[in-house]
Structure 1
Amino acid sequence: MANGNATISVEEEVQVVEEAREAPKNVESGAFELPETDFEDGRLGVMEAEAVENLRNSLAPGELFTDDSFPADPSSLFLSEREEPDVVWRRPHELVDSPYMFVDGASRRDVVQGALGDCWFLSSCAAVARKPKLIERVVPPDQALHGDGYTGLVVCRLWRFGTWVLVVVDDRLPTKSDALIFARSTHPQEFWVALLEKAYAKLHGSYEALEGGQSMDAMVDLTGGLAERFDLEDTPDKRRFFKLLMTASRSGAFITASRKKDQPYDTQWLNSGDWRLAYRTDEHGLVEGHAYTVSGVATVSHDTLGAVNLVRVRNPWANAAEWTGAWADGDERWSGVDSKQKSRLGAGRSSSSLHDGEFWMSYQDFCDEFEEVTVCTLGPDFDHDGTVDAVGQVKAIRGEWMVGRTAGGSRNDFEKFATNPQFLLEVDETGAGVCSNGSCSVLVAVMQEHRRSRRDFGVKMLQIGFVVYQTRDPTRPLPADYFYHHYEESSSGVYINYREVLARLELAPGSYVIIPATFTPDTPGQFMVRVYSPKPFHLSALPLPPASDG
């Protein structure tokens, strides 16, 4: 691509044809879809810290909190006409003796999916649980579920559009026959999984609203980190991608993988209330349209096969629905691996010894069977080797697309495009960068506002993107004429209705302009620009163009 410094003659004006596409169908999407509306205030389910404390203090001695804003009734389960008969809402101490938020800390093996199609969220919970301190930041462990200090009030912390917010729920959970209907922990006395799922459901308006979603969004909500989605069909260098997965896994990144659903949904599950009836395992034990946690990546030495690349995958169902192909539990290939390696990997068990939903498979089979992989880190991975690099600075700034003023749309109309908000990124001369060629590694991400404000409406996800130009005049926004005669430095690619889009840039010291945009002009919305770099930089908003008299 031509450098942003390059200019062309008037006769050879820049020709740009921008394109947009819809995000792939979310895994586990239910038959019911909420109507969508524009973003309003994003306050659904969120409570300020002072209000939480006042709520605690308002409870009389021995009184247990009941959440009127997310009541124990069918409206919190479903917003469609779907019904779940014979549901009884029970508190943990009514189900087991001595319940706890955590039993022996958090682990990926804690998470068990119930009769709700939210594997995208639960597989992310299992991925993040490999770092218990992060889960304990989301679900503070010092919350009693019985005995001294027990109030029935539970607080969770989730990252939403740049800030950590508090979500308060009561501990009443939907059950049938004294068993939890939805997510649970493998240990019957542990309830962090069920209560976190309830808090997340409250943010979305109902449990049903969790059916279908993007793992990258869930992992960002749980960590505040950066998530990147990879389409394996569009990743030709599989050897390099395995190295990325290996390094990312070893450095503590959170990884999920999902399969697409090609066949129509079986509507039997709508009557039964159990989502799992809509998704059956295939001949190899895998589930269509399902999200899994990637819990390990390794290379083993085999007596006759030599070095073999393997991936460990966990089904959030946590049952016998496991891979039955090469390198599955009990597969004969494990006999060619020495006991030390098998012990280190916890592999080679007999096929009947542990039906926990976790299994190993070859990397080649992994690439053949899974379509999407999401990798989330707590910070940027500038050189894309799977490890979080040192960050000199992290800055975020918010903006808004306003109809008739700053909602200019894509470069299919340069005149309108020039009215979009513009942000000045100045890369300093000083500091040591990741690259040795004098350029600076910069990661730019644009996130659209996504928080819900109404239970019965979802937020319309806009097709968004951004373009980066170099500028010689950092005092003013780039005019339309500039785009006719200069190529961009970089962009986020095709416009898409993801919550966040990002691009990795190698920038020489200098001044650059970041221009976030929606694909369609006059589309209102709010957004946030996040920039990460190991070198010092400055990020600021350029003056908005003057309002039109019309």
Structure 2
Amino acid sequence: MPAPGVCMNIINARHMKDGYGTISNPEKFLNQDFKQMKEYCLIRRVRYIDDMFPPDRRSIGQGILSPSDLAQVQWLRPSKIVSNPAFVVDGVSRFDFGQGLVGNCWFIASIGALTFQNHILKQVVPLEQSFDKDYCGMFHFRFWRFGRWVDVVIDDKLPTINGRLIFVRSKDPTEFWPALLEKAYAKVCGSYSDMNAGTPSEALVDFTGGVHICVQLSNPPKNLWELMCRAGQSKSLMGCGTPQGETSANTVLPNGLVQGHAYTVTGVKQMMSRGTPVNLVRLWNPWGRGEWNGDWSDKSQLWHTVSPQDRDMCLSDRDDGEFWMTLEDFCRFYSDLDICCLCPDFLDGSSTCHWKTSFYEGRWVAGTTAGGCLNNPDSFWTNPQYGIKIEKLSNECAETQSDKNILVSLMQKPDKRNRRLVQNLHIGFSVFEYKGLRGKFPADFFRRNSPVAQTNTFVNAREVMELMTLKPGEYLIVPCTFNPNETASFILTIISKAETHVHENSGGPNHDHMETEQAISEQIGADEDSKRTLFRQFSDKYEEVDAEQLQRLLNDKILTGDLKSGGFSIDACRSMVALMDTSITGRLNGEEFVRLWKKIETYKDIFYRCDSSKTGTLSLNELRSAVIASGKSTSDDMLNLMAVRYGASSGHITLESFISLILRFDCMSQIFRQLSDGKAMRLQESEWMYVAMYT
């Protein structure tokens, strides 16, 4: 049986700290271990067939092939397609391959960019693989997926019709690395059809795990040319796209460009034409054919205005999908430019001052930490909050300082395996400056203060980012969805030239535990004699009560009239007995019962004070206030967990659920303090099971 999700979250967080999920130690996608599985196949002398991405119509998916074509598909190994298959033939090049039937030009364009950077290519495509030595029909590839590098195992059965590959194919029919790479990415996405439609930025980030910026070419920065030149020199990957036409069809325009299509930026060069410098951009169509026919195209007479050396170096008059155009035409006919690089030094061209990266995973949960945008002043403050302190730039960095010194990226993580089923929310973030505040910032702070920076618009994209200028000081970054009460996970990445210190802002005032205990002991309620008298009426001859007796006491006497959903269950009462029972008898004596009663009175008082809507239940937003009022400091992650574990399907928490929640929270905190050094706890298996099975 797999471990519960809360356990796996802790394990994954520990693995990340230990370097698991890095490029040198990638996570095993779907728990498939390439080395172990390959060794098994070689020992048994069998060809591998992947049951996690089987060679059938499920892996192709729906909508990209007609039923008649789908019925003709045969999954063949390369040795059944050609007599002498090879993984790589004479190195890798963007001219090796062309797009197939699936509409994944965004992915193919990104592969074209990948072929320019051999050090990145080797990370994604282990080039030592072959069809010769130790071949067993198994290959593997690596991708960065939402904060972790994953190693993806596939078999080499490829979909064909009449013996021809139907998706990406190499121009040399014996070369198969592009088709196998595409299959591995299709497995990650869910199916081949799940790769239909996308943007180059998605694959560029998945190939590098690096820094990504998007430039809107309708309003480009003044230093666009310098930025592109630096990106080229710093071994970045660059992709771009043309605007969508009236339909989703890839219509070829009279100028030779394709509407709604992804291209690869393969070079930039300044040349002298008639004594005037001209900035030229080279682009590649992933179809492997079809080119721009305007100024500086292959047939343009303008090539006769440059030096013979430049003409011989740059001009290639053949229909291979690659062409040149001016930077002005590039901005005119393309909508956006994506630049992705392992290191963001290209942003200012400095090699002496290295940018520093902070990375944080978080989650919006409807009702607790999904407050929506600033249009929702009463709930915006409930969003996750991240404090960041930016130090002064070092002397080296100060000398090379550009206008922009910090890049913030917000990426939402999918909650579904199949890419086509993912519904991206409209996301964005705001940045506020502050001094001296601690804990979760309340609604009043955001009513009094305006953002010093923020995303220009909320976009339903996988990632939004802003390159901005922030002077040294303390700031609060609040990632959010446009609408409140939308649940999703996210990754917040902060990249800065200056030294930065990032921490999650959550919880409320850090009350001392002893102060809370004193407040409970002084709580106004029925006097102790009355409590003991009632206790004796329900206790046995040993003056103890078990869970069944406690249930009758709470439901029929102590909280009668306050309980909305049938009262405490027998399981809830067993849990309360276990948490308050100091003698491990399964019963509460008089002292233990009175102490429990006082706690219940305190929690009941907090419940009604925080029930501002007067519904007799706590909304998930009111739960936050109630937890803080009980003297507990908790993270947003823990609050989300409480809401999921104790909330009703309506999203509200009853009095009995709140009492059970806070009592467990309080007692488990005490257990940790007693068994730990204040920071960490070590238990033997028998000790852990002893605590876990009774409490």
Which category of TM-score, normalised to the shorter sequence, fits these structures? 0.7 to 0.9
1:360 to 324, 328, 336: 324
Query: Aligned partners of 2:97, 2:498: CA distance in 1, in Å?
Result: 39
1:470 matches 2:440: no
Query: Paired residue for 2:422?
Result: 459
Map 1:147-546 to 2 at 5 A: 147-235=132-220, 240-265=223-248, 278-303=249-274, 306-319=276-289, 321-345=290-314, 347=315, 349-350=316-317, 354-381=318-345, 384-385=347-348, 390-429=353-392, 431-432=394-395, 434-435=397-398, 441-450=405-414, 452-454=416-418, 458-544=421-507
Deviations 1:490-533 (A, max 9, x none): 11221111212222232232221111111111111111111112
Which SS does the other structure have where 1:100 is aligned? coil
Asked whether the equivalents of residues 245 and 251 of structure 2 are also in contact (C-alpha less than 8 Å), the reply is: no
Asked whether the equivalents of residues 422 and 515 of structure 1 are also in contact (C-alpha less than 8 Å), the reply is: yes
How big is the shift at 1:385? 4.6
Asked whether the equivalents of residues 215 and 338 of structure 2 are also in contact (C-alpha less than 8 Å), the reply is: yes
Q: 1:395 to 1:99 in 2, by over 3 A?
A: same
Asked whether the equivalents of residues 434 and 440 of structure 1 are also in contact (C-alpha less than 8 Å), the reply is: no
Asked whether the equivalents of residues 309 and 362 of structure 1 are also in contact (C-alpha less than 8 Å), the reply is: yes
* Paired residue type of 2:114: V
2:37 to 42, 52, 55: 55
Which SS does the other structure have where 2:44 is aligned? coil
How big is the shift at 1:454? 4.6
* Paired residue type of 1:333: L
Normalized per residue, which structure has more helix?
A: 2
How big is the shift at 1:183? 0.8
Query: Paired residue for 1:15?
Result: none
How big is the shift at 1:224? 0.5
Query: Paired residue for 2:657?
Result: none
Deviations 1:184-218 (A, max 9, x none): 23333222211111111111111111111121111
Which SS does the other structure have where 2:108 is aligned? helix
Asked whether the equivalents of residues 218 and 332 of structure 2 are also in contact (C-alpha less than 8 Å), the reply is: no
Query: Aligned partners of 2:402, 2:342: CA distance in 1, in Å?
Result: 26
Q: 1:170 to 1:387 in 2, by over 3 A?
A: farther
Query: Aligned partners of 2:32, 2:108: CA distance in 1, in Å?
Result: 30
Which SS does the other structure have where 1:544 is aligned? coil
Query: Aligned partners of 1:438, 1:254: CA distance in 2, in Å?
Result: 22
* Paired residue type of 2:305: G
How big is the shift at 1:355? 1.7
Structure 1 window deviating more from structure 2 (400-409 vs 367-376): it is: 367-376
Query: Aligned partners of 1:46, 1:87: CA distance in 2, in Å?
Result: 30
Query: Aligned partners of 1:438, 1:62: CA distance in 2, in Å?
Result: 60
Asked whether the equivalents of residues 433 and 440 of structure 1 are also in contact (C-alpha less than 8 Å), the reply is: no
CA-atom RMSD, angstroms?
2.8
> What is the TM-score with the length of structure 1 in the denominator?
0.82
Query: Aligned partners of 2:396, 2:432: CA distance in 1, in Å?
Result: 21
Query: Paired residue for 1:268?
Result: none
Query: Aligned partners of 2:355, 2:343: CA distance in 1, in Å?
Result: 11
Which consecutive unaligned segments of at least 5 residues does structure 2 have?
1-7, 13-20, 22-26, 509-622, 627-652, 654-695
Query: Aligned partners of 2:279, 2:432: CA distance in 1, in Å?
Result: 41
Which SS does the other structure have where 2:379 is aligned? helix
Which consecutive unaligned segments of at least 5 residues does structure 1 have?
1-39, 266-277
Which SS does the other structure have where 2:223 is aligned? helix
How big is the shift at 1:223? 0.7
Query: Aligned partners of 2:507, 2:358: CA distance in 1, in Å?
Result: 20
Query: Aligned partners of 2:497, 2:246: CA distance in 1, in Å?
Result: 46
How big is the shift at 1:343? 2.3
Query: Aligned partners of 1:171, 1:390: CA distance in 2, in Å?
Result: 45
How big is the shift at 1:49? 6.7
Asked whether the equivalents of residues 353 and 397 of structure 2 are also in contact (C-alpha less than 8 Å), the reply is: no
Q: 1:387 to 1:175 in 2, by over 3 A?
A: farther
- How many positions carry a matched residue from both structures? 486
How big is the shift at 1:468? 1.1
Identical residues among aligned pairs (%): 34
Asked whether the equivalents of residues 423 and 541 of structure 1 are also in contact (C-alpha less than 8 Å), the reply is: yes
Compare relative contact order (CA 8 Å, sep 6+) and give the higher one, 1 or 2.
1
Query: Aligned partners of 2:402, 2:35: CA distance in 1, in Å?
Result: 52
Structure 1 window deviating more from structure 2 (538-547 vs 197-206): it is: 538-547
> What is the TM-score with the length of structure 2 in the denominator?
0.65
1:89 matches 2:75: yes
Query: Aligned partners of 1:206, 1:438: CA distance in 2, in Å?
Result: 44
Asked whether the equivalents of residues 279 and 287 of structure 1 are also in contact (C-alpha less than 8 Å), the reply is: yes
How big is the shift at 1:474? 4.6
Query: Paired residue for 1:30?
Result: none
How big is the shift at 1:444? 1.6
